[in-house]
Amino acid sequence: MSPFFESILSQLTQTLLVVVLAPAFLGWLNQCRAWLQNRSGAGVLQPYRVMRKLFHKDAVLAKNASPVFRAAPYVQFSCMVLAASIVPVIETDLAFSPAADVIALVGIFALARVFAALAAMDIGTAFGTMGARREMLVASLSEPALLMVFFTPLLIAQSTSLNAIADALAHRQFAIYPSLAFAAVAFVMVLLAENARIPIDNPSTHLELTMIHEALILEYSARHLALIEWATAIKLTTYCALGIALFVPWGLAQTGEWQMLPVSVLAFAGKLALAGAALAVLETVSAKMRIFRAPEFLGMAFLLAVLGMLTFLLLGA
Amino acid sequence: MKIGNLELAAEELPGAVPAWGAEVDASQWLAASIHAEASGGRLLALWGSDRSDGAKPRFAVHAALVVQPGIIVMTLPLSEETYPDVSNVFPAANRMQRAVFDLLGLRATVPADERKWLRHAAWPPDVFPLRKDFLGDGSAFESYAADHIDDYPFVSVAGDGVHEIPVGPVHAGTIESGHFRFSVVGERVLKLEERFGYKHKGVEKRFEQMDCVTGAKLAGRISCDSTVAYAWAYAMAVESACGGEAPSRAAWLRALLLERERVANHLGDLGFLGNDAGLAFGLTQFSRLKEDMLRLNAAIFGHRYLMDLIVPGGVLIDVSAEESSRIRAECDALESELLLLRSIYDEHPGLQDRFIGTGRVAPELAARLGLIGLAGRASAQAWDLRAQFSCSPYDRLDVHMATHRNGDVAARVIVRFDEITESLRLIRAILEALPTRATLAQLPTAAEGATGIGWVEGWRGEVFMALELGPAGAIRRLHPHDPSWQNWPLLEHAALGNIVPDFPLINKSFNLSYSGHDL
């Protein structure tokens, strides 16, 4: 098999893996939350059941919905699939990797968000507009912080390509980078904000007035809603995969290392399960903060990311 | 009797609570209100009645004032369809007067606010359902409802960047229907206006087709989270009208049920308050405690929410020694778990940040607008019937009233915790001293036109009932009054200056009744 086909194959496997397993990861996270709250929980497969239910329903659209409203779920889903394709999950040899680097990744997330916000305002309900406003407030603070987080590993690896960064961190001689510790903490904070998790947003709330992400999608139903829910799950999984690739990449297979694949799949699954459990703990012990605390929270993330970069530049570590 | 410096001819009403009845004229109506307000009294309820099958003249309005010695129920017979407005004395009267107009067509003169209150688009403006000549067969509504839009004139706020957020009556969660109109700039609430009446079921009209025995069942369903309080208030009103009394063991058992209802509701609220601040852990823990209680209720009393256990003349249940020890064991278990959960709530920085200072009702405002019940006690309005106008068995239990001065969500949480602790003590004390005698007594037959008063401190606040009997024990008029009438307007004030996402938390901290208000 030529290297090109190999990389295409590995790309497809990996994208498919993330897209298909993303709802299970969300289910696992919810299951951990349930256990931590002394509930028995709905099981890891619950998100699939919800999606199947939604795909079987007829979609209800507002009379004044424009094509933007119809297109937005597909745009969001495509963006997330693309994002999932860029992040190295089981091996670093990806056909798409030259196409987009970390900066583009931030752009892809932003594109999906812009469409979500436009669609929310499209119908003209108070909740959609309110959600769009809040989403943009959070985004305007989390995106710069995310970029700053990327700069530390980027400086270490001397590349903006995610594959190159993951490769460099995973396969060079083991070294402890204090700068990465700062970046990792900042990354977790950004992850919580970007994925509408507690303490910034509450994904399981039914209170329209407190919603951020949920308010954006209040008007969606059936397949549109299913796609958005799926995209949300992929986004969360991609973020966790990103964190794993940047901060704990050990176990990642290198180009052409087919024999390493089982190990790397197992390593990834284990790390993802741990990440889900850790997120569940974080979400269980914290309350949701007021929306106007979000700037402080994300400002802190930004500061930590900058500190990480400074540590690297000043200490070279 | 004296109200402040005003001497009013009044006769004492029989019954468990200190109450007087007085027939007044228009000037006394106003004067009594002003004197009551000036001497620290408050308006408990205001309602009208159509007496076409009883006294002359046809219409009358009634007001229950709480003054130093007890309740005074004023009756103002109306020769015309108007009566003096008291909403400038008691702001809480505003919505009650509007409801009186919607239901009976009796207009207060001249109120600042003449908008409809309970009437919606489904209901023509010249139809007054509580009048005796209204048949209630739907004939008046059919042609009307189809093409009328409910054009309720909300107060609008103008200005740069001000916009409105309409919320409800259909909500994203399973809650009762009410409409909230927010005028906001950014996230800050400039004005909140409520619109209710979506739960209007014609409860008062339905009572008029019942007699005082069958009415007990409906009374327990007016606002079902307070079913014990309503059923007790109803039984008290019937007993007061008949001149009878429930046996003392029945009174003690009623108090036992009432305290269990209080604890269960407070537990549920505390869980939801945590959940609304994003701490789902709190909801699951408190729900578990509440569920344990409800299951014990089902096991011992045969109903999870203690419905239909209190009837005029007594109670339909009894507690054996074995059941009594089960309840006591549950109290002990609950108390230790509660202590733990309280320390978790108290020491959770994220939760306290959301609670403290949110939805504050200052004591001065609460006093001026007449906040009562649990929310009132959290704003330094020290009213608790169990401590102040204690009927049997509370007169023997020395109830400790829980109060706080801050008036914010945190204060309402603290008051709830304190009240649970006190209720658990009361439950134990009741089981300790439960008198041994019958639980049900035969009530004497009431005379036509007899009136009675029921007044019970439910978990939300004072539940009040005024009853007038017709011939052979039929109900001529029954007015049930929920404390939510007084407290809903204060919620509008509590939300002012807060940010929109904090409103659900503030609303939950009041947790007022829609059904009991809309009737």
- Confidence band, pLDDT 50/70/90 cuts, at residue A139: very high
Contacts of B284 in chain A (CB under 8 A): 37-39
B86: left (phi over 0), alpha (psi -120 to 50) or beta: alpha
- CA angle in degrees (0–180, nearest 5) for B399-B324-B260: 45
- Confidence band, pLDDT 50/70/90 cuts, at residue B285: very high
Question: Rounded to whole angstroms, how far apart are CA atoms A2 and A176?
Answer: 37
**pLDDT at position B81, please?**
87
Does residue A250 carry a pLDDT above 70? Answer: yes
pTM for the whole structure: 0.91
| Partner-chain residue, chosen from B174, B278, B284, that has the shortest CB–CB distance to A288 | B278
A 246-285 residues with CB < 8 A to B: 284-285
Please confirm whether the linkage preceding B483 is cis (ω < 30° from 0): no
Whose tokens are 């004497």? That residue is: B444
Distance linking the first and last C-alpha atoms of chain A? 40
Radius of gyration of chain A (CA): 19
**pLDDT at position B3, please?**
80
Distance from CA of A221 to the nearest CA of B (A): 14
Tokens of A275: 């990440």
Does residue A198 carry a pLDDT above 60? Answer: yes
Question: Rounded to whole angstroms, how far apart are CA atoms B110 and B83?
Answer: 9
In three-state secondary structure terms, A47 is helix
pLDDT in tens, B127-186: 888 888 887 777 767 777 667 777 888 888 988 989 898 987 888 778 888 999 999 998
Does residue A257 carry a pLDDT above 70? Answer: no
pLDDT in tens, B371-396: 999 999 999 999 898 988 888 888 88
How many Cα atoms within 13 Å fall on the side-chain side of residue B212? Answer: 35
**pLDDT at position B207, please?**
92
pLDDT in tens, B208-234: 989 888 999 999 999 999 999 999 999
What one-character DSSP code corresponds to residue A287?
A: P
pLDDT in tens, B442-467: 888 888 888 899 999 999 999 999 99
B404-432: average pLDDT? 94
Instruction: Number of A to B CB contacts under 8 A, please give it.
Output: 81
Q: Where are the domains of chain A?
A: 3-315
**pLDDT at position B513, please?**
92
Instruction: Give CA separation, B206 vs A6, A288, B51, B119, B140, in Å.
Output: 78, 45, 16, 17, 17
What residues have CB less than 8 Å from B449, skipping those under 6 apart? B54, B55, B468, B469, B470, B476
What domains are defined for chain B? 2-118 (3.30.460.80), 203-433+443-518 (1.10.645.10)
DSSP bridge partners of B3? B6
Average pLDDT, chain A: 88
**pLDDT at position B119, please?**
84
**pLDDT at position A4, please?**
75
**Cα torsion through A249, A250, A254, A259, rounded to 10:** -140
Does residue A176 carry a pLDDT above 80? Answer: no
**pLDDT at position B507, please?**
92
| Partner-chain residue, chosen from A33, A126, A286, that has the shortest CB–CB distance to B165 | A126
Question: Rounded to whole angstroms, how far apart are CA atoms B291 and A250?
Answer: 47
Between B185 and B2, the higher pLDDT residue: B185
pLDDT in tens, B24-42: 988 889 999 999 999 888 9
**Cα torsion through A176, A179, A184, A186, rounded to 10:** 170
ipTM score of complex? 0.86
pLDDT in tens, B287-332: 999 999 999 999 999 999 999 999 998 999 988 999 999 999 999 9
Does residue A91 carry a pLDDT above 80? Answer: no
Question: Rounded to whole angstroms, how far apart are CA atoms A113 and A136?
Answer: 8
Tokens of B421: 């602790």
**pLDDT at position B271, please?**
94
Distance linking the first and last C-alpha atoms of chain B? 33
Whose tokens are 């999932």? That residue is: A84
| Partner-chain residue, chosen from A39, A287, A290, that has the shortest CB–CB distance to B348 | A287
**pLDDT at position A213, please?**
87
Distance from CA of B512 to the nearest CA of A (A): 17
**pLDDT at position B511, please?**
92
Question: Rounded to whole angstroms, how far apart are CA atoms B256 and B253?
Answer: 5
Cβ count within 10 A of residue B224: 13
**pLDDT at position A14, please?**
87
Average pLDDT, chain B: 90
What residues have CB less than 8 Å from A166, skipping those under 6 apart? A88, A92, A245, A246, A249, A252
Nearest to B465 by CA among B211, B128, B239, B202: B239
Tokens of A195: 């994925």
- Confidence band, pLDDT 50/70/90 cuts, at residue A148: very high
Contacts of A207 in chain B (CB under 8 A): 172-173, 276, 504
